[in-house]
Structure 1
């Protein structure tokens, strides 16, 4: 009997080990500080601030979970400082593709403004949990730069946002709060890639403008409410 038990353990352990190894993400990326835009009041979203070189060559959109107290602090901060559109978080260092998974958590400092460009720290050591990974793409150096003006549209029935879809340098980052037809386009989806009525890959002017977007050859109206972030330099 003891021999059979030992034999069973011997057979099982390699199977467990191999199963765990399948879930390890193999990457040559090094641990780094991966700054993110943070926004939203009904739900809290984060957008990894990308570049076209390792280890920052990822476009990622997350839904985050904060404690009620820390979520309330961030919402009140936005309401009290309406002249500011940009808020960022400075996370602890980690290997990005190994961190980005539903349920993972990390510690961040919260800034009004860009944390590397004179932003003001308003909270330290906040724990955030990844509730959902809404968009994840690693840039390919040989991918042809997009000639269309496409955006990633996401959000909920209370708030909607869109982020410029990046492909290859040179490009630009633009994050905009919008008013989109939620039930017709977004409901039940994490993200939707839409085309704008712009004829080239260019920045959208934002001042309450109404534009036309296309999805599966169907056109919809959308209102641009507020620009949260615009960046050229990091994506040259």
Structure 2
């Protein structure tokens, strides 16, 4: 799972694939049960946005579904700086991750198809937020951006015509500012990958 956040909140994004049991796009609002570790992690992510991942203990993703009879409330995990399957460095071992809310739970359609417009979900509160690409085509790509917006910007879902997913923050800043009619600044591309979504 990709771990991201700042002083206002922590989030985890499941790294989806087009096969069971990973065929769900899911985003959670979380916190660490250890208050000192939680505060330290928030400070670190606020000060220096970067790719972090968490390797969770095994659990059934269906427990994150809105109608689950046994909703997942917490799980054990090890936290890594960078991608835990690609040489990431372990930072926090044996953490209990508390699930505060499931912000997105969307099963993936395995059929090959392309949507005419790309959709993005804005996550977080305050001025520093995150823009997440919705997975609704095949092939597709994970994309997670750190953005600065007006504090009054509502939680929203955005659309962008065309295909492709540029990873240059300047491209995104210009496109989003023009589309939204206000200054949006993409400060970091936190995660961009299509290896598992063919």
TM-score of the superposed pair, with normalisation by structure 1 = 0.72
- Give the number of the structure with larger relative contact order, counting CA–CA contacts within 8 Å between residues 6 or more apart: 2
How many aligned positions are there?
A: 189
Give secondary structure in 2 for the equivalent of 1:174. strand
Q: Which moved more, 1:94-103 or 1:114-123?
A: 94-103
| Contact 1:103-1:131 within 8 A present in 2 as well | no
CA drift of 1:159 comes to: 2.3
TM-score of the superposed pair, with normalisation by structure 2 = 0.84
Q: Residues 66-100 of structure 1, C-alpha deviation per residue, up to 9 Å, x if partnerless?
A: 232111232344467x4x72100000001111245
Q: 1:79 to 1:163 in 2, by over 3 A?
A: closer
RMSD: 2.4
Q: Which moved more, 1:96-105 or 1:39-48?
A: 96-105
Give secondary structure in 2 for the equivalent of 1:94. coil
Give secondary structure in 1 for the equivalent of 2:6. coil
**Residues 1:157 and 2:126 aligned together:** yes
Question: 39, 42, 45: which is aligned to 1:75?
Answer: 42
Give secondary structure in 2 for the equivalent of 1:115. coil
User: Residue in 2 aligned with 1:94?
Assistant: 59
Q: 1:233 to 1:77 in 2, by over 3 A?
A: same
**Residues 1:62 and 2:28 aligned together:** yes
User: Residue in 1 aligned with 2:15?
Assistant: 49
| Contact 2:18-2:108 within 8 A present in 1 as well | yes
